[in-house]
Chains A and B, each alone.
Chain A
Amino acid sequence: MINRRELLNAAAVLAVPGLAGAQSLDARAISRVLIDERHAPARALGLRLAAAGRAVHRLSAGDLTSVWLDELEPLWRDHPLPLAGLTESSALFCLEELTLRNGGRVVFHAEHVEFANGELEHAVLRGAETYLSARELRRAGREWPRVLAQVLSVYPESLARARPGRSVAGLAAELPPGAQLLSSWILAPA
C-alpha cells in the first residue's frame, strides 16, 4: 500500500507538462531502477533517480548475472516490486524472462536510438497512452533522460491490470552502422 510520503514524492516528480495522464491517486513510486552505466543517457538517468531517492542498480559490463543473482532476484523472489530501467535490449529480455516465474510483465517499453550523426529517434512500444509519448521525448532533445526519469518514477496500477504479453525485446531491430539502441522499461508484477 502506498504511503503518504511515497504519494507526495510521486506527485513531485509528476509536475511535468504532458504527463497529466499519469497523475493518479493510485500511482506508486518505483523505488528501484537498473541502468547500463556504459551509456551516458543511462548514467544521467541514474543520477537523477538516485538524487530522488531511488535505489540504482548498475550494469558495468552489460552482464546481468551478478546484478540479478546478488541484488534483484532476492528482492523479486520474496516481494516482487516494480523495477524500471534504461539498458540495452538484452538486459530487458533477460529480466522479462527471469521474472516471468513471479508474474513479471513489461508494462512500459520504449526504444531510444542515437544514430552515428547524433540524431535521436524514440519509439514508445508499450504504455504510450498512459505514460509518455515519443513526441514528448523528441521535444526534450538531449534532455530526454530527464523526461524519462520522471516517467520511470511512478507506476500506475492500471497498467499492471492490462497484463501485456511478451515484449519484443528479444528480437533485434535493424539499425544502420554506428547506431546505438537503448531500451527504457518498467517491469511490474501482474
Chain B
Amino acid sequence: MALPPHVSSSDFASALAAWRQAVGKDWVFTSDADVALYRDAYSPYWGEPEERLASAAVAPASLEEVQAVVRTANQYRVPLYPISTGRNLAYGGSAPVYSGSVVLDLKRMNRVLEVNERNAYALVEPGVSYFDLYDHITKAGLDVWIDPPDPGWGSVIGNALDGGAGWTANPFRDHFGAHCGMEVVLASGEVVRTGMGALPNSKSWQHNRWGYGPWVDGLFRQSNFGIVTKMGFYLMPRPESYVMGTATSMRDEDIVPMLDVLNRLENEHVVNGSTQIFGGGPGGPPGPGGAAPLWSIQAPIYGPEAVVRAQIEHAKAKFTAIPGVKFEVGELLRTPLTAAALARVRQVNFGIPNLSTFSMLGRSPVNPNPDGGHIGFSPIVPRTGESLLEFKRFYAENLSKVSGGENLGVVGPVYMTCWDRTLVCLIMFPIGRDKAKNAKMRRAFEGWVHLAAERGWAEYRAPAAFQDLIASTYSYNNHALLRLRESIKDAVDPNGILSAGRYGVWPKHLRKA
C-alpha cells in the first residue's frame, strides 16, 4: 500500500480507520488494484516515474461524510484530491496533481436536488453528470435545456469549476459564468454557502448570484481552496427555434472585418449561439459553390422564430457588407426537434449530451492516426482578426522548430469562441503509448507555452502536469497574483491538505523557496 508523502504509516492507518468509520469500509480503497483505477487515462507521463498517482481513495456519500473525511485529513495532515466524476480528460482525469494524495471521490454524491422550470435553474451535487441531469429533466418533462460539453459524461460541477464550456447559447456556454450559488466544505470541515445561500431559509439561492459583500465564488474555480458539494446553475428555457448562418471569404485579410462584425453581433446579443471559426483549407466546411473558403464563420442563433429570422437577416446584412464575403443561411429548425432533424444535427448544439466526439475522432481513412489520448495548449488571444492572423503566422513559423524538426502529429490551430469575448487558439498534442514520443510532446508543449507567453498569450486551463509551468507565465509584478493566491491558501488551508499544487498553488510546506 502506498503512503501519502510526509505521512507516517501509523498516521495513515489511523486516518484510514477513521474514514472507514465515517463512510463505511466498502468506500475506502487502498488495494493496488482499486487505486489503479484513479489514473489519468491521457497522462503525458503514462507508465513513467513522473506519472501522478493516488495512494488511496475514499468515497463519501453525503455532506456530513465529506466533512468527517476532511477533518480526519486535517488531523493527520493527509493530502486529499477531490474529484467529481473524474472525467476531466486531457486535464488530469481522476489522478491528483500532487502524487501520493488520497483521492476524495465524490461520485456517490449524485443527486439532482432541484430543477426549477419556472425560474430556469438547477441545483446539483458533484457526482451528477450531464447525462444524469439531462435524464432527470427529460423524465420530468421540464421545458429547459442544459448546456453540455463534448463528451457529455462529465460532472456538471466539475466541468464548471475547471473552466469548461459547452455548445448552446450564451450565457449558458460559460459553465462557471452560468452558475449561481455554491455550498463548500473548507479544509477545516466547516460548511459555507455563498451568495444568497448564506441567508438561512433563503429562497433565492439560485436566483441572485451575488448576494451581499465580496463575492467569493471565484475562489473555488480552478482552485484548491475548498470542496464544492452543491452548485446551482442557470438553465436555458427551451428556445423556440434555431438557425445558423455561415459567412465565408476567399481572402485571408477578410478575417479582420469578419471578426469585427461577429464581435459586434455577439456583444449586441444578436448572435447568441456557439460560433466557430474555420481557417479555410482542408477541414473547413465548403462555401457556396463548393469551393473551400479561406475563412468560415458559423453564427448560430437561438430564440423565438420571428426574432431569429430577423436576427439572421441582420447578421447577413452586416457580413455581406464586407466586399467579397458571402453569407448562407441554413435551415431554420423548430424545437423540439423531429427525429429526422435529430439524426442530422450536432446534438450538443441542442442541449443533448452524447459521446459522438469519440467516434468522430476514431481511426478512419481521413484520420489514420486518431487522436485518442491528447493534451491541449489553448492560449487566450485578443479577439481580433489581426491577432488571429498573427497567431496563424506564429504557429506556422514555429511548428517545425518546436517539434524538433519532426512531424509529431500536432494539430492546430483550432479557433474557439465558445466563451464570451474570448478567442482561444487550441493546439492539440496526441498522447499515446510510446514514452519517447510522449516526451517529445511534452517538450513541444513547453516550447509553445514559452513562445506564446513572450507575446502575451497564455493558457486558460491546463493539464495537471503543466499547471506549475502555466502559472509561472502569469508573472506580472513578480508573480503578484500567485502570491495573493498563496496568501489565501495559507489562510483557508493552513495544513495544505486540499489539492496541493492545483493550478500552481502549493501549500506553504511544499512551496519551493
Mask, B353-374, CB within 8 Å of A = 1, is 0111011011101001111110
Q: CA A46 – CA B131 in complex, angstroms? A: 29
B-contacting residues, A105-127, CB 8 Å: 105
Cβ contact within 8 Å between A101 and B359: no
A117 to chain B, nearest CB (A): 15
Q: CA A135 – CA B233 in complex, angstroms? A: 55
B contact residues around A105 at 8 Å (CB): 37
Cβ contact within 8 Å between B34 and A64: no
Mask, B69-112, CB within 8 Å of A = 1, is 00000000000000000110100000000000000000100000
A-contacting residues, B39-72, CB 8 Å: 39, 41-42, 46
Q: Is A166 an interface residue, CB under 8 A from the partner? A: yes
A-contacting residues, B334-393, CB 8 Å: 354-356, 358-359, 361-363, 365, 368-373
Interface centre among A93, A94, A164, A171 (most CB of B within 10 A): A171
Q: Is A158 an interface residue, CB under 8 A from the partner? A: no
Cβ contact within 8 Å between B432 and A173: yes
B-contacting residues, A142-190, CB 8 Å: 162-166, 168-181, 190
Q: CA A174 – CA B408 in complex, angstroms? A: 11
Q: CA A80 – CA B131 in complex, angstroms? A: 19
Q: Is B8 an interface residue, CB under 8 A from the partner? A: no
Q: Is A37 an interface residue, CB under 8 A from the partner? A: no
Cβ contact within 8 Å between A165 and B39: yes
Q: CA A107 – CA B369 in complex, angstroms? A: 26
Kindly report which residue of chain B lies nearest to residue A67, judged by CB atoms.
B355
Q: Of A68, A69, A172, which one neighbours B370 at CB under 8 angstroms?
A: A172
Q: Is A63 an interface residue, CB under 8 A from the partner? A: yes
A contact residues around B472 at 8 Å (CB): none
Q: Is A15 an interface residue, CB under 8 A from the partner? A: no
> Main SS of the interface on chain B?
loop
Kindly report which residue of chain B lies nearest to residue A172, judged by CB atoms.
B372
B430 to chain A, nearest CB (A): 6
Q: CA A169 – CA B369 in complex, angstroms? A: 14
Cβ contact within 8 Å between B42 and A170: yes
Cβ contact within 8 Å between A63 and B356: yes
A-contacting residues, B435-457, CB 8 Å: 437
A sample of 30 cross-chain residue pairs with beta-carbon separation below 8 angstroms, ordered by A number, consists of A61-B359, A62-B362, A63-B355, A63-B358, A63-B359, A65-B355, A69-B131, A88-B363, A90-B361, A90-B372, A93-B372, A97-B41, A101-B107, A105-B37, A163-B34, A164-B36, A165-B32, A165-B33, A165-B36, A166-B36, A168-B433, A170-B373, A171-B373, A172-B370, A172-B432, A174-B369, A174-B433, A174-B437, A175-B363, A181-B363
Q: Is B406 an interface residue, CB under 8 A from the partner? A: no
Mask, A31-67, CB within 8 Å of B = 1, is 0000000000000000000000000000101111100
Q: CA A165 – CA B33 in complex, angstroms? A: 6
Cβ contact within 8 Å between B358 and A93: yes
Q: Of A63, A163, A171, A175, which one neighbours B431 at CB under 8 angstroms?
A: A171
Cβ contact within 8 Å between A65 and B37: no
Given the known inter-chain contacts A93-B41, A171-B431, A172-B370, please indicate yes or no for A64 contacting B36, CB distance below 8 A.
no
B contact residues around A162 at 8 Å (CB): 33
B contact residues around A91 at 8 Å (CB): 358-359
Q: CA A88 – CA B87 in complex, angstroms? A: 20
Q: Is B331 an interface residue, CB under 8 A from the partner? A: no
Q: CA A171 – CA B46 in complex, angstroms? A: 9
Q: Is A12 an interface residue, CB under 8 A from the partner? A: no
A contact residues around B356 at 8 Å (CB): 63, 65
Q: CA A69 – CA B36 in complex, angstroms? A: 26
Kindly report which residue of chain A lies nearest to residue B354, judged by CB atoms.
A65
Cβ contact within 8 Å between A97 and B153: yes
Interface centre among B32, B33, B42, B434 (most CB of A within 10 A): B33
Given the known inter-chain contacts A62-B359, A65-B355, A94-B358, please indicate yes or no for A172 contacting B373, CB distance below 8 A.
yes
Cβ contact within 8 Å between A90 and B362: yes
Q: CA A64 – CA B152 in complex, angstroms? A: 12
Q: CA A172 – CA B131 in complex, angstroms? A: 26
Q: Of B36, B368, B431, B437, which one neighbours A178 at CB under 8 angstroms?
A: B368
Q: Is B204 an interface residue, CB under 8 A from the partner? A: no
Q: CA A61 – CA B371 in complex, angstroms? A: 18
Q: CA A141 – CA B373 in complex, angstroms? A: 31
Mask, B166-200, CB within 8 Å of A = 1, is 00000000000000000000000000000000000
Cβ contact within 8 Å between A94 and B355: yes
Cβ contact within 8 Å between A64 and B432: no
Cβ contact within 8 Å between B354 and A166: no
Q: CA A87 – CA B362 in complex, angstroms? A: 11
Beyond A61-B359, A171-B433, 17 extra complex contacts between A and B, CB < 8 Å: A88-B363, A89-B372, A93-B372, A105-B37, A165-B32, A165-B37, A166-B37, A168-B433, A170-B372, A171-B432, A172-B370, A172-B372, A172-B433, A173-B432, A174-B432, A178-B365, A190-B33
Q: Is B31 an interface residue, CB under 8 A from the partner? A: yes
Q: Is A128 an interface residue, CB under 8 A from the partner? A: no
Given the known inter-chain contacts A65-B354, A172-B430, please indicate yes or no for A179 contacting B131, CB distance below 8 A.
no
